[in-house]
Structure 1
Amino acid sequence: MDTARNLLFVSEALFHLLLMMLTVGVGVHSMPVPTDVPMCMATETAQYRLTFTGKWTQAAFPKQYPVYRPPAQWSNLIGVTHSSDYHIWQRNEFASNGVREFAEKGEAWTIMKEVEEAGERIQSVYGILSAPAVVGGSGQMSTEFEVFARHSYLSFIVRIVPSPDWFVGVDSIDLCDGDHWKENVSLELFPYDAGTDSGFTFSSPNFETIPQDKITQITSSSPHHPANSFYYPRLKHLPPIAKLTLTKIKKTNQIISLPEEPTQSIPLLTGNEIDDSPINTPLDCEVSVWSPWGLCKGKCGDSGVQHRTRYILMHPANNGAACPLLEEERKCFPDNCL
């Protein structure tokens, strides 16, 4: 409960900081740096509702699923609306110091400073948005934001908690289609590794990656190590760990403005995700290597018996392969028999 309260407190404090920054800069609509990307020709601004749905359940991701200290959950969402020449993060590129701190610790001050400086330097950031943390692997958070033709792209990042430096997010999704705005966008989200910490499991201690790696997508076979919490060699692809839904809000006679508060996070009552069938990922039993054969027990002149054992590393789940025998014996003849 203390962890949940702390997350909600940090989330609320961060939102008020973001709102203050946005209020200061909302009146500045600077021209973006020219690029070869086709320009959005929409003549009016558009407002969207962003809904983030966590799909990180024990049924879908049974291996090493965090149950306590802390349990599986999501950080607050940090996002920006921007032009095509800006990236808050990019796959196969190095994470900035701000992305590093957010992916490893959930600290957003540096990444917010980077966004602010980018807006001042290359004039490509229009708005900053935030949504509160989800205290649970399955749940929802949502917020509303505004876009216009010169800055029609959306990017965001959400930290996976607990994890070494893992996150989900979107890099530069264009909400404009020629001269009009897209009505609905739905994307399945998969985990990424920020490349700054070399931990394999959700609860790994800090182990800095030197030299720093680039941001890569985590798959069922990469990193290729049985200790990896997302390592499911039977699967071709991981199931989506989260989902993004963007819905264009119809205009009314009222003036469009950002909400005073983001919509609160909503935990889902069951492990089933909204509008989705439940996913049950099979997890095979994993056992250790055999121990050395034990002493041969028997009478002198007669054959005896010796044993070896192994133990369970991972119990099966969701109809995964059952555990093999954990003990074997074989005939032997006692050594040094007098």
Structure 2
Amino acid sequence: MAVVCRMAAILVLIALLDFDLTVGCDVDDVAVYKVSLQMLWSEERFPKDYPMNRPKAQWSQVFGQSHSTNYSLYHIGSVAKPTVRAFSQFGKIDDLVKEGDDDQQVYDQFSAPAIGKGTGDTENMVFVDGGHSLVSLMSRMIPSPDWFIGVDGMNLCVDSSWVDQITLDLEPLDAGIASGLTFTAPRWETVPPAPVTRHKPRLPDHPAAGFYYPELRELPAIAKVQLTKVREYSTKELNDLARKELMSVLKAKNEHKGLPRKTIANSDEDDDDNDFNEDTEEHNVMTTRNYVDKLKDLEEDPVGTPRPNAPENFVEVVTKPSTTTTTEAEFEGELKNMDDVVLAVAHGRKFGLHKHLPRHFRSRLHHAVNKIQPNDCLVSEWSAWSPCSVTCGFGDKLRYRTVVRPKKDGGRDCPTLTDRKHCGNVNSCAHIDYFEW
């Protein structure tokens, strides 16, 4: 009997230990990751029917999300939702964004620039927290009926801590909505839609299939994705940062703008430098403004101490807006590197934003960290799209931008100056006989 009791106690202990190991990252912890994609769709790797023109091999913009375990962008083996089907066929992203905005299980959304050829690199950053530690993303293959690459719910919280870095090999996927075998096949709709599947050397098992390489056991990676932790902040660190920054900002506001605005003084002389001195506050000056009012003032009129060109700033500047946006006005002078971003996150929590950072605030952060620095390369706005290169069938449209200010020491490199997108359709031709043998 004693042996049985000891065994039961051991089993209970093991269960408790297992429970401890499965506890996730703290729900209030925030981490920032850089998402880098390397596209490897080259003729050397995939010589069969490699698209050379009209249109040539290329990639759509990348769409990604951080989310909870109760949400999925797509699942291999499951039928894709309509928004994913539309993206995989036509690159439509607006409905995906709206769908994520309306779902409380989605924490952050991001996109990365399209790549106008089969090989190249693109990147952006994503915010995660303890309750939304999974990242999913996808990018459409062009040309293709409905093929894409993607990441399906990669969990960045392992053993209760944030992963430092992880690299994944990506394979071509079929969204299951179009039945074409080749890259340039017409989009014959699959009814009903099939589940999302992987392309394999013999799947689809037909010599015309775009990835039919029967001599191979596995296809080489068509892309790689790397997620690298940029910064990680616990609730305590966020609060400490907020408290420290709050005091310095309030003091600066007081020195420059005369906080408190309405005071009852017990002496004839005011000493602005002593507003945060306990004795002065208690005996000399009584404010009619409470702590919450000061926080509201701070939110409405931020004062920051930016550190431009810090080495930890991984954000690529794309272009400078032609006009100053509301977001820029709200953050003028602030959020020029990752430290300032995190301080803003901390302030956001301090203002009573509760469980998770609101989407509108995350959008401000994404925008603010992309602000141009004095040494960065500055480019013009995009030109208008050129006419389609063909009047019959599929072609390309081009647009360009020019370098307004070259990069200086320590600044960021110039982004791409040429952009390309697919145009035209088979119905624009006067006559095509698909079955002319």
State if a TM-score over 0.5 links the two structures: yes
Structure 2 counterpart of 1:179, which letter? S
Structure richer in strand, relative to its length: 1
**Paired position in structure 2 for 1:254:** 340
Once residues 169 and 93 of structure 1 are traced to their aligned partners in structure 2, the CA distance between those partners, rounded to angstroms, is 14
**Paired position in structure 2 for 1:192:** 173
Structure 1 counterpart of 2:24, which letter? C
Once residues 265 and 134 of structure 1 are traced to their aligned partners in structure 2, the CA distance between those partners, rounded to angstroms, is 12
Percent of paired sites with the same residue: 37
Once residues 167 and 140 of structure 2 are traced to their aligned partners in structure 1, the CA distance between those partners, rounded to angstroms, is 20
Q: Is residue 225 of structure 1 aligned with residue 209 of structure 2?
A: no
Once residues 172 and 141 of structure 2 are traced to their aligned partners in structure 1, the CA distance between those partners, rounded to angstroms, is 8
What aligned pairs does 1:5-154 form with structure 2 within 5 A after superposition?
38-42=22-26, 44-117=29-102, 119=103, 123-154=104-135
Unmatched tracts of structure 1, length 5 or more: 1-36, 268-338
Residue 49 (structure 1) shift:
0.6
Once residues 174 and 232 of structure 1 are traced to their aligned partners in structure 2, the CA distance between those partners, rounded to angstroms, is 32
Residue 265 (structure 1) shift:
7.2
Unmatched tracts of structure 2, length 5 or more: 1-20, 233-337, 343-364, 372-411, 418-437
Q: Which has the higher contact order (CA 8 A, sep 6+)?
A: 1
**Paired position in structure 1 for 2:192:** 211
Is contact 2:22–2:160 with CA below 8 Å preserved after alignment?
A: no
Is contact 2:25–2:162 with CA below 8 Å preserved after alignment?
A: no
Is contact 2:23–2:160 with CA below 8 Å preserved after alignment?
A: no
Structure 2 counterpart of 1:40, which letter? G
Once residues 96 and 61 of structure 1 are traced to their aligned partners in structure 2, the CA distance between those partners, rounded to angstroms, is 29
- Closer, same or farther in 2 for the Cα pair 1:77/1:100, shift >3 Å? same
Q: Residue 340 of structure 2: SS of its match in structure 1? A: coil
- Closer, same or farther in 2 for the Cα pair 1:125/1:253, shift >3 Å? closer
**Paired position in structure 1 for 2:332:** none
- Closer, same or farther in 2 for the Cα pair 1:154/1:207, shift >3 Å? same
Is contact 1:97–1:111 with CA below 8 Å preserved after alignment?
A: no
Once residues 126 and 159 of structure 2 are traced to their aligned partners in structure 1, the CA distance between those partners, rounded to angstroms, is 20
Structure 1 vs Structure 2 CA RMSD: 2.2
Residue 110 (structure 1) shift:
2.3
Residue 178 (structure 1) shift:
2.7
Q: Structure 1, residues 3-33: CA drift from partner, whole Å, max 9, x if none?
A: xxxxxxxxxxxxxxxxxxxxxxxxxxxxxxx
Once residues 200 and 80 of structure 2 are traced to their aligned partners in structure 1, the CA distance between those partners, rounded to angstroms, is 19
Residue 111 (structure 1) shift:
2.1
- Closer, same or farther in 2 for the Cα pair 1:135/1:170, shift >3 Å? same
Residue 254 (structure 1) shift:
3.2
Structure richer in helix, relative to its length: 2
Is contact 1:153–1:175 with CA below 8 Å preserved after alignment?
A: yes
Structure 1 counterpart of 2:114, which letter? A
Residue 38 (structure 1) shift:
4.4
Once residues 185 and 253 of structure 1 are traced to their aligned partners in structure 2, the CA distance between those partners, rounded to angstroms, is 23
Residue 259 (structure 1) shift:
5.2
Q: Residue 254 of structure 1: SS of its match in structure 2? A: helix
Q: Residue 87 of structure 2: SS of its match in structure 1? A: helix
Once residues 265 and 209 of structure 1 are traced to their aligned partners in structure 2, the CA distance between those partners, rounded to angstroms, is 39
Is contact 2:35–2:124 with CA below 8 Å preserved after alignment?
A: yes
- With structure 1 as the length reference, what TM-score do the two structures score? 0.63
Once residues 192 and 266 of structure 1 are traced to their aligned partners in structure 2, the CA distance between those partners, rounded to angstroms, is 28
Once residues 147 and 172 of structure 2 are traced to their aligned partners in structure 1, the CA distance between those partners, rounded to angstroms, is 6
Q: Is residue 234 of structure 1 aligned with residue 215 of structure 2?
A: yes
Is contact 1:140–1:265 with CA below 8 Å preserved after alignment?
A: no
- With structure 2 as the length reference, what TM-score do the two structures score? 0.49
**Paired position in structure 2 for 1:16:** none
